[in-house]
Structure 1
Amino acid sequence: MTQSQSRSGTMTALTPQMQECIAACMDCHSMCEETMSSCMQKGGQAQMQVMRALMDCSETTRMCADMMMRRSPMAAEMCAMCAKVCDMCAEACMSMPDDEMMMRCAEACRRCAETCRAMAGAGM
């Protein structure tokens, strides 16, 4: 999983920066999924804006990690979009400051956004 094919067909290892970003994306994806589950278990009326942000972030981070692992030519652009989605999700989670799970999710989103911004700037 830490290797991919270059254009010439030879296997090249993912850079440590890419591995860190993939791990941050997958951590954020998992955290968003857990947070959505927690919201549903608690019942009540979860804010739709927050739930949409969690869903968008969960899907975007998973797709971003997948694209980096397969060395998609669109990975840098996906990382830039992923950073924006993660920032929006972190802000949405911060709207519920008394919820520990939301605060943990916001932190995971911030970490992911930071690594994705770095990867988008690296141009892969």
Structure 2
Amino acid sequence: MTHTQPGTMTAMSKEMQDCVNACMSCHTACEEAMSSCMQQGGQAQMQVMRALMDCSETTRMCADMMMRRSPMAGEMCAMCAKACDMCAEACMTMPDDQMMMRCAEACRRCAETCRAMSTRM
């Protein structure tokens, strides 16, 4: 963490901002997919719902940790990438559902940026 003045942090790098944005987009996609699954009722598989919930919470927490420059953000990015990979796989089990396919794409994009960020922090 680089400081310009005591107690003042420098602006986020473009890579970190891109990662935060990918996390928040993924969080939104997971929340929307969960809502869609709940509206469908019994058709939603519990494994898919668990993956969506884990990914949604992990991406939100990961973005929060990066924004506040947590010393654990790198580790959180690695965990977030794993949660996103698992969620993308779960979403792909419902290939006829466009919402799930959009969610899988957001998860893949987030996993890629988080994996890259985990090695830079």
After superposition, give the CA deviation of every residue in 1:74-104 in whole Å (9 maximum; x if it has no partner): 0000000000000000000001111111100
**1:26 positional shift:** 0.2
Normalised TM-score (structure 1): 0.92
Equivalent residue, structure 1, for 2:33: 35
Q: Which runs of 4+ in 1 moved over 4 A?
A: none
Q: CA deviation at 1:5?
A: 7.9
Q: Secondary structure at the match of 2:116?
A: helix
Corresponding residue of 2:19: 21
What SS does the aligned partner of 2:34 have?
A: helix
Match of 1:88 in 2: 86
Q: For 1:68 and 1:96, how far apart are their aligned partners in 2?
A: 32
Structure 2 counterpart of 1:50: 48
> What is the root-mean-square deviation in Å for CA atoms of aligned residues?
1.6
Uncovered stretches (5+) of structure 2, i.e. residues with no partner:
none
Amino acid at match of 1:50: V
Q: By how many angstroms is 1:108 displaced?
A: 0.2
TM-score by length of 2: 0.94
Cross-structure match for 2:112: 114
AA aligned to 2:98 is E
Deviations 1:5-46 (A, max 9, x none): 849422310000000000000000000000000111122231
Matching residue of 2:73: 75
Matched letter for residue 12 of structure 1? T
Equivalent position SS for 1:13:
coil
Aligned residues between the structures: 120
2:36 and 2:2 map into 1 onto residues whose CA distance is 39
Identity of aligned pairs, percent? 80
